[in-house]
Structure formats: C-alpha cells, structure tokens
Amino acid sequence: MRLGWAVGPAEISAQLVSAKQLTDQCAGALGQRLFEESSRRGWIEEQLAQSRALYRRKSERMLDALDRYSLASRRAITLPLLRELLNA
C-alpha cells in the first residue's frame, strides 16, 4: 500500500488529480487480487496501524519544530507564515 500527498499550484494540482483518476479507473487484476488477499489476511489493518504511527511521529516532530521556530523567532505560527516558509 502506498500513501502520499502533494502540494502545489491549483492548476497543476487539478492536472495531477485528473491523471491519477485515469490510473485509478483501470486497476489491474493482479493488484486487486493482492489487495483482496492482504485484506483477508489482516495485513491491511496492520499496515494502516503502522502508517498511522509513522505519520503521528512525523506530525509530532513537525509540530515540535514549528514550536521551536516560533519560540526562537518570537513569531506566532500562522497560515501566512507557513506559506512564506514553504515558499522560501
């Protein structure tokens, strides 16, 4: 199982969504069978638990880093500031 996300300008994001939808409409039989078997054996739930734990740790690290930045720079973390930092 893969998990991912993307951030970008709206027009590019729309093109990515369209391209992804095209690939999602025609899932191969092997992939579908693998998913079904993985689900039947409980592997999907195991993978979801692992993914949730991983992204929880990543989220906590990111929030800690933002807290440290906020304290060091004496600037409150706001959406405009996050946008500025991401575009820097």
What's the pLDDT tens digit per position in 67-80? 888 888 888 888 88
Q: Is residue 2 part of a domain?
A: no
Q: Is residue 5 part of a domain?
A: no
Average pLDDT value for residue range 47-71: 91
Q: Is residue 65 part of a domain?
A: yes
- Is pTM beyond 0.85? Reply is no
- Say how many domains are in the chain: 1
Q: Domain range holding 31? A: 11-87
Give residue 27's pLDDT band: very low, low, confident or very high (50, 70, 90).
low
Cβ neighbours of residue 69 closer than 8 Å, sequence gap 6 or more: 75, 77
Q: Is residue 37 part of a domain?
A: yes
Q: Is residue 59 part of a domain?
A: yes
Q: Is residue 28 part of a domain?
A: yes
